[in-house]
Every structure is written in structure tokens, then in C-alpha cells.
Amino acid sequence: MSTTNLDTARRYLRAIEDGATGEALAAFFHPEVTQREYPNRLVPTGATRDLRALLEGAERGQQVLAGQRYEVRHVVEQGDTVALEVDWSGTLKVPVGKLPAGGTMRAAFAVFLIFRDGRILSQHNYDCFEPF
């Protein structure tokens, strides 16, 4: 049985939920991966990241979040592209804005993943955070 890009995308989100960092997370990415995070409340000017920056961000996230969950609402898969509409929630280890440590941050987002050789080559995030 072959694994589809959608299967890999779902495993990727589960790995993030499980706290994957380092090699466990890097296994999902093509070595030439780029991620574009469009401007949002946490990253007002947006950001573009390579593999190293993605892995460093995952490590930093471990310092801020006690846990996180992804609820996939809609999926479109076409060729090497998977588009996901997701409801995200994260339990905070530290206060963020008006949210206390132990509070829950929420966002609705869309993520577009382009795959090469079964790994994520490109990731574009459109994150819409609830007020915090």
C-alpha cells in the first residue's frame, strides 16, 4: 500500500502534536524546503524559513506550548499539492498577551503543502489567531 501526500500531511500534523523536533520532524521535509508564514498576530511582518529555521522554531515552540492540537476541517489534494483548513489550539506554558500560562490560544488557518519525493518541499501558512 502506497502512502499519499495527504497521508503524509496528516502524519506531519500528528507528529507536531506529539512534540516532534529534530530528526523526527526533519523526516517530513525535503532538504530544500521553504516555509512562508504570512503576516499574522504573532508574526506581524511574516517570515520565510528554511529547514534549519523550521527545526529551530519547533524547538522554541516547545518552550512556549505545553501541547497543541490540529483539527482538520477541509482537505483538497491535487497532484503534489495538499491544502488543509485547520482549527488549531495550543496550551500555553507561558503567558502570551492576555492569555495566562495554562490558557489556550486558538487559530484557524490554511496551510498549502507542495511535495517532492514524498516530502514537504514548500509550506505556506495563513494563520488567523483569535484575540489574545
Its domain, for residue 119, covers 5-129
**What is the distance between the alpha carbons of residues 9 and 115, in angstroms, rounded to a whole number?**
9
**What is the distance between the alpha carbons of residues 126 and 38, in angstroms, rounded to a whole number?**
6
Nearest to 35 by CA among 19, 16, 18: 16
**What is the distance between the alpha carbons of residues 19 and 62, in angstroms, rounded to a whole number?**
7
**What is the distance between the alpha carbons of residues 4 and 103, in angstroms, rounded to a whole number?**
35
Q: For 75-93, how does the pLDDT look when each residue is reduced to its tens digit (9 = 90+)? A: 999 999 999 999 999 999 9
The mean pLDDT of 89-118, rounded to a whole number, is 98
Place 125 in a pLDDT band, splitting at 50, 70 and 90: very high
Tell me, what's the pLDDT at 3? 86
Nearest to 13 by CA among 96, 99, 131, 123: 123
**What is the distance between the alpha carbons of residues 101 and 99, in angstroms, rounded to a whole number?**
7
Q: For 51-67, how does the pLDDT look when each residue is reduced to its tens digit (9 = 90+)? A: 999 999 999 999 999 99
Tell me, what's the pLDDT at 19? 96
Q: Are strands 119-129 and 29-37 parallel, antiparallel or unpaired?
A: parallel
Residue 49 sits in a domain whose CATH number is 3.10.450.50
In percent, the amount of the chain with pLDDT more than 70 equals 99
* pTM assigned to the model: 0.95
State how many domains the chain has. Answer: 1
